[in-house]
């Protein structure tokens, strides 16, 4: 069974870890490049993407995570994590300068597009492949404004893309770890099993 990692620098990483453990998946917290060894998939949690990006720099994680993907690992970014996966990030507060990202997924995201913290909300979301709507928790969420050719749209809210997949990359605007519904974590485990080669495991 493949081992999953959760980037544990900042944000809602414990919730992701608990959810994966509940599903019986072996899981490790990732703080250092060496923690990536032996993983098949990595979740980048929600939180605050500027802070997380700074910690990625401090812990020298940018290139090791890109290399992990290049070796065949799968990545799922939720909310701030989706921002870190994107090739194009818009809407960063100007005082922070250009936003660093992993530059992996062919999407353009706009930060804080669903409004201020007080505008956080939960909504039943129709997700491709799921029979029943998923209770999606949005907290100052980014929207996916543009998707490249190889990107499959899995869910939209109010006509805006909030869940998308590109091969071994998954990005969600919302926080599936903050509900008790395990179906998106199951979806990611399925994606890992389907796409990640035995040799990377």
Number of residues that bind ligand GLN (CB under 6 A): 12
What is the C-alpha to C-alpha distance for residues 150 and 55, in angstroms, rounded to an integer?
30
Q: Which stretch binds ligand GLN (CB under 6 A): 26-34, 35-43, 134-142, 158-166?
A: 134-142
Per-residue buried b or exposed e for 183-195, using 16+ beta carbons within 10 Å of the residue's own CB: bbbebbbebbeeb
> Which of the ranges 63-71, 75-83, 124-132, 159-167 carries the binding residues for ligand GLN, by CB under 6 A?
75-83
Interacting span for ligand GLN (CB under 6 A) from 54-62, 64-72, 122-130, 137-145: 137-145
x/- site string to ligand GLN, residues 28 to 47, per CB under 6 A? ------------------xx
Instruction: Please count the other Cβ atoms lying within 10 Å of the Cβ belonging to residue 128.
Output: 12
Using rule CB under 6 A, residue 112 touches ligand GLN: yes
**Contact pick of 83, 105, 147, 187 for ligand GLN (by CB under 6 A):** 83
160 DSSP β-pair partners: 157
For the chain, list the strands marked E by DSSP. Answer: 4-7, 27-30, 41-44, 74-78, 86-90, 105-110, 121-125, 134-138, 143-147, 152-157, 160-166, 169-172
Instruction: Using CB under 6 A, pick the residue from 10, 49, 166, 172 that binds ligand GLN.
Output: 49
By CB under 6 A, residue 111 contacts ligand GLN: yes
Indicate the pairing of strand 105-110 with strand 86-90.
Answer: parallel
Find out whether 172 is annotated in a ligand binding site: no
Is the separation of the CB atoms in 99 and 142 below 8 Å?
A: no
Cβ at position 16, least distance to ligand GLN in Å: 12
As to burial, measured by CB atoms within 10 angstroms (0-12 exposed, 13-18 middle, 19+ buried), residue 66 is middle
Residue 40 marked ligand-binding: no
- Binding residue ranges for L-glutamine: 47-49, 111, 139-140
- Binding residue ranges: 47-49, 111, 139-140
Q: Which residues bind ligand GLN (CB under 6 A)?
A: 46-49, 79-80, 83, 111-112, 139-140, 142
């Amino acid at each position: 069974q493949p081992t999953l990692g959760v980037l544990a620098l900042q944000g809602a990483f414990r919730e992701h870890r608990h959810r994966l453990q509940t599903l019986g998946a072996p899981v490790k917290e990732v703080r250092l490049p060496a923690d990536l060894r032996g993983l098949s998939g990595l979740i980048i949690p929600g939180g605050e993407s500027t802070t997380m990006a700074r910690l990625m720099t401090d812990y020298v994680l940018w290139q090791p995570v890109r290399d992990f993907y290049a070796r065949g690992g799968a990545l799922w970014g939720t909310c701030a994590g989706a921002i870190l996966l994107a090739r194009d990030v818009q809407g960063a507060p100007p005082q922070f300068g250009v936003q660093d990202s992993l530059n992996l997924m062919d999407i353009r995201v706009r930060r804080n597009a669903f409004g201020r913290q007080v505008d956080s909300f939960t909504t039943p979301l129709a997700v491709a492949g799921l029979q029943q709507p998923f209770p999606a928790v949005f907290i100052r969420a980014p929207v996916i404004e543009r998707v490249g050719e190889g990107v499959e749209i899995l869910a939209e809210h109010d006509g805006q893309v909030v869940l998308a997949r590109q091969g071994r990359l998954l990005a969600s605007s919302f926080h599936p770890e903050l509900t008790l519904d395990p179906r998106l974590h199951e979806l990611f485990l399925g994606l890992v099993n389907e796409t990640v080669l035995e040799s990377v495991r």
